[in-house]
Amino acid sequence: MKSLINFLFIITISINGLSAKTPIKKVSRWVKILNLIEVEKKTINLVKNKSDRLLYRLFELETEKIKIFKRMDNNLFMSKSLKNGKAIDKRKSFQKTLSYYKKAKTFALAIIKKFPKTRYKADIYYSLALNSRDYAYDKKELYYLKKALLNSRAGSELRYLSMTSLADYYYNNKKYKRAIKFYKKVIINKTDEWYTKNLFNYGWCLLKTHKFKKAIATLEEAYKLSSTGSYIDFNEQIMTSLITFYVQGQEFKRGKDFILENTKTHFNDLFKYTKKVAHKGYFSQSLELIQLTESFIDTKKDQENLADLRIFQYDFYKQFQKTDEMFNIANQISKLALTKTQIDDSTYKFSNEVGVLQQLIKKDFSKHDRSYDVNKLNRIISYFGLLIDIDIRNTAKYHYHSAETLYSVHEFFRALKRYKSGLEYHLTEKEPKIDFDIKRKSIDAIFSCIEFAKLSKPEQFSQLEYAYLKHIKFWPKDKKSGEIFPKLYSLYFNKKLIHKMHKTLTQYILLFPLHLDTQQSLFRVQLDHLITVKNTDLLSSRVNLLYTGFLSFTVKEVKRSEKILANLLFKQYDKLAKAGNHQEAIKGYKNIYNIEKYPSSVRADAAFNMGILFTDLFETSSVLKWFNLSLALFNQQEKLDRRQIIETMSLRSSLLQELKNAADLQKLVLRNYCNKTNNAKTKALNYSSYKNAITFDLANNDASRAVKTFVQYKSCVTGDFNPLEITFINHFFENNLDGELIDFINSQNLNKKHKDLIGQRIESLFWDNYNKNQYKERNYLAFIKKLKCESCIKLTSTITAFKQFEKEINKTIQRKLRIKGTFNPDKFNKKLEKRLSNLGPLFSKGDEILTKGHPQVSVLVLEKMALLTEVISNEISSFSPKTKNISLKNQVEKQMKILGKTIEKERSKIVSRANTLINKFEVLSHHTNNTHLGKRVLDISNIRMPASQMAATIDLK
Amino acid sequence: MLITKKSTIRMFSSFIICFFLASCASQNKRRNIPNKQHDGLRFESLNRYDSNRLSSVNKYVSDIAKCHQNQYTDAYKSLKQKLEKEKSNPLYWNQIGTCYLLNQKYTQAKFYFTLALGAIDTSIKKNKRSKYKAIIMNNLGLNYLRLKKYNLAQDHFQRATELNPRFLTPKYNKTQIYLKFGLFGKAETLLSFLYKRNKNDVDFTYSLGHLYLMKNQYSKAKHYFALLPKMYLTRDDIATNYAMTLFMLGDYKGSQSILANAEMKSSQLKKAQLNLIDRIKLATNN
């Protein structure tokens, strides 16, 4: 049986040892222990008649079970509390523990009842006391301890344990005098390793009963014994308590000496001691101890302790309201390398101090005269400086708060700088999350500061720019940013910072596409400025931008800007041109044209202007070249706008006697504006250019070019072609371009259309070539016959009659008086009569033609009649009969001369008729010879200068 | 040297060109009247001014005076420079037209005369337009005359006369056409009128002499030729006509004497003079 109990004991110990070493997997371990307990209980319960020893063992096992269930219930209780965060009913949570406690208590009391004199009685009561203390809180502890003490044997360990527990019970329940009674007995036993603890508790009881010196001596002893290693080491608690004891007993020197003599860690203990002394308000003693404590710090190596000491000092001075010393110490702290805790601690302390100072300065600030305690403000700001030094991660926050302080006393400019510093730090450094929107608050405050601070203009510009840019950066799409963009733009405009203006506008457009009207207005401001300062480079780049659809400006507005740009660019060259320095002006325009960054239409205008200038320089090829280049760059509408100018330049060229250029310019217009798609209005316009081009080429005596134009552009022209056709006909005629005239009439099929005019012109050519060029004469006559115009019919009929008449005249002339052989008067008379009798009918035929009234033909008829009469008159007058009869010969010759003269008179009449006709009808005929009054002279020679050389101009009026 | 067909053609072409140039040159010959008293058209025309008289004309006609001296390039340039100031002045355009006329650029001349007519309608008061138009019509007529469009020339001189009967030049120009085409009655009427207006005018007198020569009234012709100042008797047209008149009157010596001092600027008149010399020789040998 004894061996069995030993076995069970060993198991229990081993189980207990296990539980102490393996806190992990508590539940499974507890289950195992419980299983083992159950196994041991089953084993014991195998014994039917159990001894008090076995029953006591069972009670021990039950107590063990309570212990386990208490732990289990406690675990559950803790986990529930943590999970719900609500108060859990403790009684319910520990039901199992209490249940097992009750079971064990009942079991224990039953053992005592069954074995009233059992040797385990004191043990059972002691265990019940401890169970009551640890598991039930049913205030039965004292009762059971007293029972245990009563039933314990004198000098036994249980008696000692019971007394110790009773002392502890009284100590814990602040029954110090009763406790002292039991501790006095307990501390007699110096063999207990817990002796030092008992001394410690005893000391406290003495202190509580105001026995300071004895209490200090007890603790000093306990401290010294703790250090020996024979007892449980309570040094730390003892020293802490001792410090209290020294202070309460005002044994400052004793305490200092004890520490210096007995402790190993002088600094720590002295520091604690100093703190306690200070805490209790002993200023001078504290100062002395501080000095002493600091003397145990290696300031180079032991920064942490020094910092702790300084932090304490800070509190110490604060406790005694020594603000300057506080700040001095704070300053020293800021220069030390602090631990995180120290940083937190210092930060907290300084922040509190600053907070108080802020409240004070705000409270004291007089808004009326803006007065405040400058030193206080400086102190606050300095504290923020120290806070930044210590707690650099929160720099932004400290800057902000210092700015707030400055703002509160209306130091707006200084505040502004601080807000900015805070904001900048916030943006550049990784700092902990701030519990307020520092960006928003700072920017708002900065705006407010700018408003209230009386800043110089440059300063105001710089601060506003900063604030605007930051706002836009932080909250680009914020409604307020939409209002800020125009302001920032205006700010830049006041400084004429064009690139910044434009950058701002570009950003504004990107972020606020619906603010188009405002953005357009802003852009106009920029354009107006560029125009005012004549910054053509930027203006051109802006105009180019407008061409890309920038801000959806209307074409009209874009064009207006472009026109202004062109005016600016061209102004100096226009001036040169006006001053007559065309070459320099052209040079300038050429430069503009060659710069590709300028808008196309500006370059086009430059080229166009060059065209105009070259017009005045009479450099035809250059005029065309530059107009061509310009038209290639203009858009359709611009081209149309320039049309009238080109036409005007053409007219100007014509006035400047540059007819080829004038014509070329009109053809340039036709080339560019004349096409199949032209509407009626354009076609009518084209007619003007068409007509002018032809007129100028004809005026320049270049009919072939004129004809080419006439044919080439006919299809895109609406207008009356008759005048042009007549112009061509007259031009060819007047300038003796006979072949061209015929070609033109034929190619353009004008015979019917202009038959009267053509008839006149061809008849004139006919007469010019009459009897000079038979080929042409025949062709022209044939042409006239085909025309069938009124005058043509008259000419063809009369000329045909005349030709017949001319033949007969010629025949008559050829039929000369020929007398063969000896002169026979009868035969001669017959022949003469026959010859003369022919004249009458022949002249009648001539008269008949004359009645047709064609002046030129009439002159020809009279010419022929005059010729015939002259021939016959000469023939008769010069007749000399071949006869030997001189008398007959003379008589015949005399008669013939008389007859000749008669015929000559007839001739003179004919000549006279001809001259009357010519004078009357002013016939300018090239064919007067026989009828010409000056025939005698002209037969000798043509003795006169041509009429064209004799005639004169009128040029003196 | 072998003359090929090609070289023959070339020679012929050269001849044509030379002939053309010669005929052009003949058209350019001026009949200068050094003494203004002998110029009945002196208030209307610079046509017969000699270089001395041309050099002293006023600035308003200095450009056209240049044209009369064949200084066309200078004249054109100068006239161009006056465009802005003078463009609405019809007489400006008349000067340009006349200059082209004198330079034998007839299409250009017509163009600027037409501009002048336009300028009259837009810039000249109604009551003065006829006078201006008469000037342009005369010059247009002369332009046609140079182009040998006699009817058109005659029409324009007639219109000029009608528009301003006071102008002598168109009347005189008309007489030249009448004389050319043998309208001597008409010519006589007009020349008598002109002669009455200025008996000292060389060409009025000469034309009358020529007229009567043509009309076979040699004594009358001689009368007029004899009225001409001696300095003009060397002028080839006058000398030829005067010599012919004397020849017809049988005064061979007188004829020879005139021809001996005659100028020979015109090829046509040179030929006429040579013919006459032959005739005189023939007659005197007989």
Note the pLDDT tens digit of each residue in B184-199: 999 999 999 999 999 9
Task: Name the β-bridge partners of B49.
Answer: B33
Each residue of A96-109: pLDDT tens digit? 888 889 999 999 99
Burial class (CB in 10 A: 0-12, 13-18, 19+), A325: middle
For residue A431, name the pLDDT band (cuts at 50, 70, 90): low
> Considering only CB atoms, which chain B residues are within 8 Å of A764?
151
Flag if A952 and B111 touch (Cβ within 8 Å).
no
Percent above pLDDT 70 for chain A? 96
For residue A432, name the pLDDT band (cuts at 50, 70, 90): low
Query: What integer is the mean pLDDT of A600-619?
Result: 87
What is the distance in angstroms between the Cα of A635 and the nearest Cα belonging to chain B?
A: 32
What is the distance, to the nearest Å, from the Cα of residue A863 to the centroid of all Cα atoms in its chain? 99
With 60 as the cut, is the pLDDT of residue A488 above it? yes
Flag if B176 and A951 touch (Cβ within 8 Å).
yes
Q: DSSP character for B225?
A: H
Six-digit token string for A282:
């002993």
Flag if A657 and B108 touch (Cβ within 8 Å).
yes
Residues in Cβ contact with A726 at an 8 Å cutoff, skipping those fewer than 6 apart: A754, A757
Chain B residue whose CA is closest to A954: B45
Instruction: Identify which of A222, A214, A205 has the alpha carbon closest to the alpha carbon of residue A251.
Output: A214
Q: How far apart are CA A539 and CA B5, in angstroms?
A: 73
Instruction: Specify the pLDDT at position B30.
Output: 63
Flag if A657 and B96 touch (Cβ within 8 Å).
yes
Q: Which of B115, B139, B182 sits opposite A953 (nearest CB)?
A: B139
- Residue A617 near residue A584, CB atoms below 8 Å: no
Each residue of A46-73: pLDDT tens digit? 888 888 889 999 999 999 989 888 888 8
With 50 as the cut, is the pLDDT of residue A7 above it? no
Instruction: Specify the pLDDT at position A25.
Output: 54
- Residue B126 near residue B159, CB atoms below 8 Å: no
What is the distance in angstroms between the Cα of B278 and the nearest Cα belonging to chain A?
A: 10
Q: What share of chain A is helix, strand, coil (3-state, %, to 5)?
A: 80, 0, 20
Q: Which of B48, B83, B135 sits opposite A656 (nearest CB)?
A: B83
Q: How far apart are CA B193 and CA B275, in angstroms?
A: 33
Chain A residue whose CA is closest to B30: A949
Helix, strand or coil for residue A366?
A: strand
What is the distance in angstroms between the Cα of B4 and the nearest Cα belonging to chain A?
A: 29
Q: Which of A731, A933, A955 sits opposite B182 (nearest CB)?
A: A933
Each residue of B103-146: pLDDT tens digit? 999 999 999 999 999 999 999 999 999 999 999 999 999 999 99
For residue B11, name the pLDDT band (cuts at 50, 70, 90): very low
Q: DSSP character for A371?
A: B
Instruction: Specify the pLDDT at position A27.
Output: 66
Amino acid, single-letter form, for residue B249: L
Instruction: Specify the pLDDT at position A221.
Output: 92
What is the distance in angstroms between the Cα of B197 and the nearest Cα belonging to chain A?
A: 17
Task: Name the β-bridge partners of A371.
Answer: A366
Percent above pLDDT 90 for chain A? 55
More confident residue, B234 or A956: B234
Q: Which of B91, B112, B147 sits opposite A736 (nearest CB)?
A: B147
Q: Which of B48, B185, B276 sits opposite A940 (nearest CB)?
A: B276
- What single string gives the DSSP state of each residue in A591-613? HHHH-TTS-HHHHHHHHHHHHHH
Instruction: Specify the pLDDT at position B166.
Output: 95
Flag if B107 and A701 touch (Cβ within 8 Å).
yes
Mean pLDDT of chain B: 88
Instruction: Specify the pLDDT at position A948.
Output: 83
Each residue of A68-92: pLDDT tens digit? 888 888 888 888 877 776 777 777 7
With 70 as the cut, is the pLDDT of residue A4 above it? no
Q: Residue B199: phi, psi to the nearest 5?
A: -75, -15
Does this model's pTM top 0.90? My answer is no
What secondary structure, in 3-state letters, does A742-783 show? HHHHHHCCCCCCCHHHHHHHHHHHHHHHCCCCHHHHHHHHHH
Instruction: Identify which of B93, B168, B166 has the alpha carbon closest to the alpha carbon of residue B131.
Output: B166
> Considering only CB atoms, which chain B residues are within 8 Å of A937?
213-214, 216, 244, 248
Helix extents (H) in B28-183: 51-55, 62-68, 72-81, 83-86, 90-102, 106-123, 126-146, 150-163, 169-180
Flag if A950 and B203 touch (Cβ within 8 Å).
yes
Chain A residue whose CA is closest to B155: A922
Instruction: Specify the pLDDT at position A72.
Output: 86
What is the distance in angstroms between the Cα of B14 and the nearest Cα belonging to chain A?
A: 22
Instruction: Specify the pLDDT at position A819.
Output: 78
What secondary structure, in 3-state letters, does A804-848 show? HHHHHHHHHHHCCCCCCCCCCHHHHHHHHHHHHHHHHHHHHHHHH
Flag if A943 and B241 touch (Cβ within 8 Å).
yes
Instruction: Specify the pLDDT at position A949.
Output: 84
Flag if A944 and B210 touch (Cβ within 8 Å).
yes
Which stretch of A472-486, A533-547, A858-872, B63-77 has the lowest confidence by average pLDDT? Answer: A533-547
Instruction: Specify the pLDDT at position A803.
Output: 94
Each residue of A769-778: pLDDT tens digit? 999 999 999 9
Q: Which of A735, A947, A950 sits opposite B106 (nearest CB)?
A: A735
Flag if B186 and A922 touch (Cβ within 8 Å).
yes
Burial class (CB in 10 A: 0-12, 13-18, 19+), B24: exposed
Flag if A947 and B177 touch (Cβ within 8 Å).
yes
Six-digit token string for A359:
């409240």
With 60 as the cut, is the pLDDT of residue A884 above it? yes
Instruction: Specify the pLDDT at position A265.
Output: 81
Give the number of other Cβ atoms within 10 Å of residue A12's Cβ.
18
What is the distance in angstroms between the Cα of B185 and the nearest Cα belonging to chain A?
A: 7
Instruction: Identify which of A357, A355, A350 has the alpha carbon closest to the alpha carbon of residue A332.
Output: A350
Six-digit token string for A699:
């005026």
Each residue of B213-250: pLDDT tens digit? 999 999 999 999 999 999 999 999 999 999 999 999 99
Q: Which of B98, B179, B184 sits opposite A953 (nearest CB)?
A: B98
Chain A residue whose CA is closest to B76: A657
Helix, strand or coil for residue A879?
A: coil
> Considering only CB atoms, which chain B residues are within 8 Å of A931?
182
Query: What integer is the mean pLDDT of A712-731?
Result: 93
- Residue A665 near residue A648, CB atoms below 8 Å: no
Instruction: Specify the pLDDT at position B74.
Output: 94
Chain B residue whose CA is closest to A765: B149
Whole-angstrom CA distances from B180 to A927, A945, A946, B207 are 12, 9, 7, 11
Q: Which of B44, B186, B210 sits opposite A957 (nearest CB)?
A: B44
Each residue of A213-270: pLDDT tens digit? 999 999 999 999 988 888 988 888 899 999 999 998 899 999 999 999 988 888 888 9
**Conformation bin of residue A174: beta by default, left when phi > 0, alpha when psi is -120 to 50:** left
Percent above pLDDT 90 for chain B? 82
Which of B149, B171, B264 has the highest number of chain A CBs within 10 A, making it the mutation to test binding with A?
Answer: B149
Q: What share of chain B is helix, strand, coil (3-state, %, to 5)?
A: 75, 0, 25
Flag if A933 and B214 touch (Cβ within 8 Å).
yes
Query: What integer is the mean pLDDT of A319-337?
Result: 93
Flag if B139 and A955 touch (Cβ within 8 Å).
yes
